[in-house]
Amino acid sequence: MCGRYTLKSKGIDVQRELRLDHEPVLEARYNIAPTQAAPVVLDSAPRQLVTARWGFTPRWARDVNEGAKHINARAESLADRRLFQDALLHTRCLVPCDGFYEWRHHGKQSTPLFVHAPSHPIQTMAGLWTTWRSPEGLEVVTFSIVTTAADAFMSRLHTRMPLFVAPGDRDAWLAPGLKPRELETLLHRANVAPLNAYEVSAHVNHVAVDDARCLEPAAAVQLDLL
């Protein structure tokens, strides 16, 4: 799954990597958590980052907080779930990141790790988005991150991982009118960037903490105990 991630890269680097029309103004984020606002790319043209709320809230939901139940969407069942069927066909998005967190569990304790691709500092996770309207008429763009079965590396930490969209597939993922067979191919594309991970400070466990402390390597004495 994907429950926390980072986007600390500079705006100019994100613009170049995602081929955005304009350089975005970005604040470094070290601990993006569900229900928080985060930048996503909704459409292929004009290609720009917009702010959306993490947690897919269906149009029929009474409360935007319903989205907290849908921060992830399983690639294998998207076409069969009423919640995501329309978004899969018409409103796909890219969720830029430069890494995500996963927790390794041992007994009653868990250790946070930062997972990233050293060869591709900025990656894009596959996402689905929709617009929820409040009873007062306020419109909120919300999104979910698509997950897939863990690869050989991630399977040591978790059974699931984000579905990364390779640079050469980004245009296709955002393009309208994709046929089911084309979508199926993209949803089962293997991760092409080798992943790495290291243990980080327990600061990341607290959603209120969103600074560089989250990425500090765990102390050597902690590593010796694991």
Q: How far is the C-alpha of 40 from the C-alpha of 17, rounded, in Å?
A: 14
Higher pLDDT, residue 185 or 222? 185
The mean per-residue pLDDT over the stretch 200-226 comes to: 78
For residue 86, the model assigns a pLDDT of 94
The mean per-residue pLDDT over the stretch 82-96 comes to: 96
pLDDT-derived band at 225, boundaries 50, 70, 90: very low
The mean per-residue pLDDT over the stretch 40-60 comes to: 94
Does residue 102 carry a catalytic annotation? yes
Is residue 36 predicted with pLDDT exceeding 60?
yes
Q: How far is the C-alpha of 57 from the C-alpha of 62, rounded, in Å?
A: 9
pLDDT-derived band at 78, boundaries 50, 70, 90: very high
pLDDT-derived band at 191, boundaries 50, 70, 90: confident
The mean per-residue pLDDT over the stretch 113-129 comes to: 96
For residue 224, the model assigns a pLDDT of 34
Higher pLDDT, residue 86 or 225? 86
For residue 226, the model assigns a pLDDT of 36
Residue 56 and residue 65 in contact, taking contact as beta carbons nearer than 8 Å: no
Q: Please state, rounded to an integer, the average pLDDT across all residues of the chain.
A: 92
The mean per-residue pLDDT over the stretch 90-115 comes to: 93
pLDDT-derived band at 82, boundaries 50, 70, 90: very high
Q: Which of 2, 93, 97, 214 is catalytic?
A: 2
The mean per-residue pLDDT over the stretch 201-208 comes to: 92
The mean per-residue pLDDT over the stretch 197-223 comes to: 84
Q: Which of 93, 97, 102, 214 is catalytic?
A: 102
The mean per-residue pLDDT over the stretch 142-170 comes to: 95
Is residue 47 predicted with pLDDT exceeding 80?
yes
For residue 189, the model assigns a pLDDT of 85
Does residue 2 carry a catalytic annotation? yes
pLDDT-derived band at 48, boundaries 50, 70, 90: very high
Cis peptide bond upstream of 46, omega within 30: yes
Dihedrals phi, psi of 12, to nearest 5 degrees? -65, -35
Task: Give the CA distances from residue 99 to residues 15, 28, 221, in Å, rounded to whole numbers and listed in that order.
Answer: 17, 13, 25
Is residue 12 predicted with pLDDT exceeding 50?
yes
Domains of the chain, start order? 5-100+121-194 (3.90.1680.10)
Q: Average the pLDDT over each of 18-27, 136-145, 183-192 and give the range with the smallest value.
A: 183-192
Q: How far is the C-alpha of 90 from the C-alpha of 164, rounded, in Å?
A: 19
CA-closest candidate to residue 157, choices 117, 194, 102, 99: 102
Task: Give the CA distances from residue 24 to residues 17, 194, 198, in Å, rounded to whole numbers and listed in that order.
Answer: 12, 27, 29
